[in-house]
Amino acid sequence: MKQEKAKKYGMVIDLDKCTGCGSCMVACMAENNVPFREDESDKLLSIAWMRVYKLTNGKPFPDTDICYLPRPCMHCEGHHGHSPCVSVCPATATDYSEETGIVSQIYTRCFGCRYCMAACPYHVRLFNWWDPVWPDGMEKSLSPNVSVRMRGVVEKCSFCFHRYQLTMDKAHMEGRRELEEDEYQTACTQACPAGAITFGDLNNPKHTVYRMVKPDHKQGGKPKNPKAFRLLERLGTNPKVYYLTSREWVRSMDDNYLKNESK
Amino acid sequence: MFPFSFEWVWDMDHIVFHGGLWYALNIMGLGMTYCIIKAAWDTYKGKGGHNH
Amino acid sequence: MDSALIPRGVKRCPTWQFILGIVIVGAVLLWGVFAMLLCWIKGLNQTNMNTAYGFAIWIWADLAVIAVGGGAFFTGFLRYIVGKDELKNIINFAVLIGFICYSSALLILAIDIGQPLRGWFIFWHANVHSMLTEVAFCLSCYFGVLCIEYLPLILENRQIDKVPFFHNLSHNMHEIMAVFAATGAFLSFFHQGSLGGVAGVLFGRPFGFREGVLIWPWTFFLFTWSAAACGPCFTILITKITEAIARKKLVKDNVIELLAKISGWMLLTYSVAKIADTWYWATVTAPSKGFTLMDFYSNNPLYGIWILILEVGICGVLPALILITDKGRKTSFALWAAVILAVIGVCLNRWVMVLQILAVPVMPFISWHMYFPSWQEIATTILPVAYGIILIMISYRYLPIFPQEAELNPIEPPTYAEEDKQEQEEPVETQEASNAPEPEMQPAEA
């Protein structure tokens, strides 16, 4: 059963609230059967759909300030669904859904060319360099709703799409075509103890995410809220993850600027 | 690659791309078929070896 | 021992020397095969690629061999479409080099993908909007064309040619070779360009992204152009190396000079276009994304502005200027230097358009990513080189690759007598077929 109106699911992350605790990362890994290795020290080889970056203003004490920036997949819309990764995948193994605004990844279709990784400026796409090895007994606790990935394919954050499917199934059984805002939430959103992550439909003015950033859809979804921004806005990727902050120095790291440009 | 695969859409992009592909494949295939059949015919007619 | 297989009218090294050469290069080949098997069996964790480097040395090698293998399509285009008849004396070797380069490229791709058994998905589930799809289709088809172009050469082996059907097949294929060459040129234009497009369409990567016309970024045209310019330089270079190893002249100077001259003008015009493209990119495209030119060439241990100067100036404009002058082409040292520089230039361009794109940090709070290949990556990259040397050795020994060789290196009459004597001792069926006069080394399309 299809929804009545096209959704544009997106996320708002309040950087002033994030404490960098990493609960979102842990919840994401558990929810999505993300594989891990015995030695996770090399972050360029490990897989984390949600990664928390540590930003600093570079000033000496006592002016030092730190900001933690959680980075899920941005689910870029690009120009009319022409997101950086979807347009380049040669085997149609990733898709931009006009129905939900979610960029999917079909693991059984991906043959591991990694062109999407080269295309993504956010380093969101991750390659399975190894087959997953679960500690003894842990395979029994894997989520049955998310397929585990084999070595040689790319994976990434799906905005917990399986939750959307389950909720839609439930709504269908109840004869509904629309979901309530709190019915479909991502694991990271629910796990954040500081309430820094908000998730919802950016097309729906009643949803909190819409009210928080006030996306201007005529301007490619740019936020009207002056405290809100999107990462690398000027590349034209048109992401659906918004950040909130009141700190100027954090804002200065949202994109690349020339010296003579005022942000 | 084929109209019966579900990715296929009857739009200009697919027609141009796969049109070019099948055009090239056909030239190669027909060209080789012509060469092989003619070679077989020539051999049957007693040409070949070092007669020319 | 194998003299019955060696073309008439030419001299080859003793069999033991040939086998020794094969064994030495074969050892390197086996090393590469071992590394390749490791990658297939254990997976791509055998490489030093990572999240930042989804593409690495293999994709560079892929782009580089396809660029230098461009000599096949462009020489074919000049010979069959433009009508530069002299090039018939080097086209066979250009085809052989192209065949080696493209088969190597396909092999590298088969190692590079994470799920090699799913490689056919790129054809079956093709996304026609992806540059890589265009590459895969045109590259595979063009490899088919190269097989068709290489096949008549194999059929012209002295013994194979004795079989009437093969003789006729080879003859007929030569008759319509222009059709295949035109198809090859068409396919090459698109796959060389698409390889440029692979980088140019990455609008999330300001170092690689370029504007363009319709769906094709400027890199599409620059890649085709540079392959057409530098591919023939590689053909000349390998011809010169083969001549140096064989210690004899194999192709007349006027043929080399003609190809060098055309290559020079192509390289010069390419360099002008590349400079214009770089200028526009540095002053308009990159600043629109918040980058200055020097952002791409500073704050890292490797990628300095030297790489741009080396690629466009020293390995672009300089060899072009040498090759367009009569004196430059006629001076052995200058010609050697020019073709080597041009080949380095195009390989460097491919490196930059694969590796540097990924090295440049795009998010403001991350730093440059550096990469050095693992031994498995190096071995599998050297593997095609060893394979290429072996195929050239075998082809040179047993096939009429160089039509002018016999004329340039006349051999003593006694050798003919010895060969005839040897042939008389061959089995009856071969003798029957060899009643007619033996074909001399001749231009392939004769």
Q: Please answer yes or no on whether C125 and B5 come within 8 Å at the CB atom.
A: yes
Q: Which of A42, A80, A86, A88 should we substitute to test contact with C (largest number of C Cβ atoms within 10 Å)?
A: A88
Q: Is A204 exposed, middle or buried (0-12, 13-18, 19+ CB in 10 A)?
A: middle
Alpha carbon separation from C297 to A118, C292, C361 (Å, rounded): 19, 9, 11
Residue in this structure with the two tokens 């592909």, named with its chain if needed = B21
Higher-pLDDT residue of C134 and B51 is C134
C111 is written with which tokens?
A: 């190692």
What H or E segment, with its residue span, contains residue C255?
Answer: helix C253-280
Residue C399 within a domain: yes
Closest C-alpha among C189, C144, C124 to residue B27:
C144
B15 and chain C: CB distance < 8 Å anywhere?
A: no
Contact between C262 and C232 (Cβ < 8 Å):
yes
Number of CB pairs < 8 Å for B and C? 90
Strands A9-14 and A241-244, bridge-based pairing: parallel
Residues C116-144 have a mean pLDDT of 92
Residue-level pLDDT at B11? 86
C446 and chain B: CB distance < 8 Å anywhere?
A: no
Rounded distance, CA C250 to CA C96, Å? 15
Alpha carbon separation from C283 to C157, C288, C289 (Å, rounded): 56, 9, 11
Q: Give just the sign of the alpha carbon dihedral A22, A26, A28, A34.
A: positive
> What's A9-251's CATH class?
alpha beta
What H or E segment, with its residue span, contains residue A96?
Answer: strand A94-96
Q: Please answer yes or no on whether A55 and C365 come within 8 Å at the CB atom.
A: yes
Residues C391-415 have a mean pLDDT of 88
C247 and chain A: CB distance < 8 Å anywhere?
A: no
**Residue among A89, A153, A259 whose CB faces C127 most closely:** A89
Which of C 112-141 lie inside 8 A of A, CB atoms? Answer: 112-116, 118-119, 121-122, 125-127, 129-133, 136
A133 and chain C: CB distance < 8 Å anywhere?
A: no
Query: 3-state SS of C160-229?
Result: HHHCHHHHHHHHHHHHCHHHHHHHHHHHHHHHHHHHHHHHHCCCCCCCCCCCEECCEEHHHHHHHHHHHH
Nearest chain B residue (CA) to C175: B35
Residues in chain C with CB shorter than 8 Å from the CB of A91 are: 118, 121-122, 125-127, 133
Q: Write the pLDDT tens digit of every residue in C76-91.
A: 999 999 999 999 999 9
**Residue among C125, C167, C186 whose CB faces B48 most closely:** C167
**Residue among B1, B25, B39 whose CB faces C169 most closely:** B39
- ipTM of the prediction: 0.92
Contact between C184 and B31 (Cβ < 8 Å):
no
Residues C20-47 have a mean pLDDT of 97
C73 is written with which tokens?
A: 């399509």
pTM of the prediction?
0.91
Residues in chain C with CB shorter than 8 Å from the CB of A69 are: 365
Q: Please answer yes or no on whether C290 and A131 come within 8 Å at the CB atom.
A: no
Q: Please answer yes or no on whether B39 and C436 come within 8 Å at the CB atom.
A: no
Residue C418 within a domain: no
Alpha carbon separation from A35 to A41, A207, A255, C271, C324 (Å, rounded): 14, 33, 31, 48, 58
Residues in chain C with CB shorter than 8 Å from the CB of A155 are: none
Residue-level pLDDT at B51? 44
C205 min Cα distance to partner chain B (Å): 25
C366 and chain A: CB distance < 8 Å anywhere?
A: yes
Rounded distance, CA A150 to CA A158, Å? 17
CATH number reported for the structural domain that contains residue C74 in this entry: 1.20.1630.10
Q: Please answer yes or no on whether A44 and C44 come within 8 Å at the CB atom.
A: no
Rounded distance, CA C441 to CA C432, Å? 21
Residues in chain C with CB shorter than 8 Å from the CB of A93 are: 121, 125
B30 min Cα distance to partner chain C (Å): 11
What H or E segment, with its residue span, contains residue C231?
Answer: helix C218-246
Residue C148 within a domain: yes
Residue C435 within a domain: no
Contact between C375 and C39 (Cβ < 8 Å):
no
Each domain of chain A, given as residue ranges in start order, spans 9-251
Residues C207-223 have a mean pLDDT of 94
Rounded distance, CA C370 to CA C373, Å? 10
C388 min Cα distance to partner chain A (Å): 25
Q: Write the pLDDT tens digit of every residue in C303-349.
A: 999 999 999 999 999 999 999 999 999 999 999 999 999 999 999 99
Strands A154-155 and A197-201, bridge-based pairing: unpaired
Instruction: Look at residue A215 and give its three-state secondary structure.
Output: strand
Q: Please answer yes or no on whether C130 and A232 come within 8 Å at the CB atom.
A: no
Task: Identify whether A62 is preceded by a cis peptide bond (ω within 30 of 0).
Answer: yes
Pick left, alpha or beta for residue A185 (phi over 0 → left; psi -120 to 50 → alpha; otherwise beta).
Answer: beta
Q: Which of B21, B25, B33 should we substitute to test contact with C (largest number of C Cβ atoms within 10 Å)?
A: B21
Q: Please answer yes or no on whether C45 and A234 come within 8 Å at the CB atom.
A: no
A151 is written with which tokens?
A: 């070595």
Q: Which alpha helices (H) appear in C43-118, and where do they start and end? A: 57-68, 70-76, 91-112
- Over pLDDT 70: what percentage of chain C? 92
Residue C416 within a domain: no
Q: Write the pLDDT tens digit of every residue in B1-37.
A: 777 777 778 888 888 888 888 899 999 999 999 999 9
Alpha carbon separation from C112 to A86, A153, C122, C138, C279 (Å, rounded): 20, 12, 14, 18, 34
Residues C49-54 have a mean pLDDT of 95
Q: Does the structure show a pLDDT above 80 at C427?
A: no
B6 min Cα distance to partner chain C (Å): 8
C347 is written with which tokens?
A: 């390989």
Residues C258-266 have a mean pLDDT of 97
- CB atoms near residue C299 (< 10 Å): 11
Q: Please answer yes or no on whether C436 and B50 come within 8 Å at the CB atom.
A: yes
**Residue among A87, A92, A119 whose CB faces C125 most closely:** A92
Calculate the average pLDDT of chain A: 94
Alpha carbon separation from A9 to A6, A77, A158, A204, C41 (Å, rounded): 10, 11, 11, 9, 40
B4 and chain C: CB distance < 8 Å anywhere?
A: no
Q: How many domains does chain C have?
A: 1
A58 is written with which tokens?
A: 């570079």
Residues C22-27 have a mean pLDDT of 98
Rounded distance, CA C215 to CA B15, Å? 15
Q: Please answer yes or no on whether C168 and B1 come within 8 Å at the CB atom.
A: no
DSSP3 helix / strand / coil % (chain C, rounded to 5): 75, 0, 25
- Cβ neighbors of C177 (< 8 A, separation 6 or more) are C80, C149, C152, C445
C252 is written with which tokens?
A: 């007349």
Closest C-alpha among C323, C217, C307 to residue C269:
C323
Contact between A151 and A129 (Cβ < 8 Å):
yes
**Residue among A91, A118, A119 whose CB faces C125 most closely:** A91
Closest C-alpha among A114, A91, A87 to residue A103:
A87
Residue-level pLDDT at B3? 78
Q: Please answer yes or no on whether B42 and C172 come within 8 Å at the CB atom.
A: yes
A260 Cα distance to chain centroid: 32
What H or E segment, with its residue span, contains residue C257?
Answer: helix C253-280
Interior angle at CA C7, CA C5 and CA C12, nearest 5 = 85
First CA to last CA distance, chain B? 44
Q: Which of A37, A96, A133, A235 should we substitute to test contact with C (largest number of C Cβ atoms within 10 Å)?
A: A235
Q: Which domain holds residue C244?
A: 3-411
Q: Please answer yes or no on whether A129 and C45 come within 8 Å at the CB atom.
A: yes
Alpha carbon separation from B33 to B36, B38, B39, C148, C155 (Å, rounded): 5, 8, 10, 12, 17
A152 Cα distance to chain centroid: 22
B11 min Cα distance to partner chain C (Å): 11
Q: Which alpha helices (H) appear in chain B, and where do they start and end? A: 12-44
Which of A 74-93 lie inside 8 A of C, CB atoms? Answer: 78, 84, 87-93
Q: Please answer yes or no on whether B24 and C437 come within 8 Å at the CB atom.
A: no
Interior angle at CA C418, CA C416 and CA C422, nearest 5 = 115
Closest C-alpha among C2, C33, C37, C34 to residue C19:
C2
Residue in this structure with the two tokens 């490489």, named with its chain if needed = C47
Which of B 16-45 lie inside 8 A of C, CB atoms? Answer: 17-18, 20-21, 24-25, 27-28, 31-32, 34-36, 38-40, 42-43
Which of A 149-178 lie inside 8 A of C, CB atoms? Answer: 150-154
Rounded distance, CA A170 to CA A124, Å? 30
Q: Is A61 exposed, middle or buried (0-12, 13-18, 19+ CB in 10 A)?
A: exposed
- Chunked mean pLDDT (size 10), chain A, 263 residues: 77 97 97 94 94 95 96 94 93 93 95 96 97 93 95 97 96 93 96 97 95 92 95 95 96 92 66
Nearest chain B residue (CA) to C173: B35
Higher-pLDDT residue of C433 and C238 is C238
A261 is written with which tokens?
A: 């440009």
Residues in chain C with CB shorter than 8 Å from the CB of B40 are: 165, 168
Q: Which of B15, B33, B35 should we substitute to test contact with C (largest number of C Cβ atoms within 10 Å)?
A: B35
Q: Which alpha helices (H) appear in chain A, and where do they start and end? A: 23-31, 84-88, 115-119, 161-173, 187-191, 208-213, 248-251
Q: Write the pLDDT tens digit of every residue in A88-117.
A: 999 999 999 999 999 999 999 999 999 999
Residues in chain A with CB shorter than 8 Å from the CB of C131 are: 88
C23 and chain B: CB distance < 8 Å anywhere?
A: no
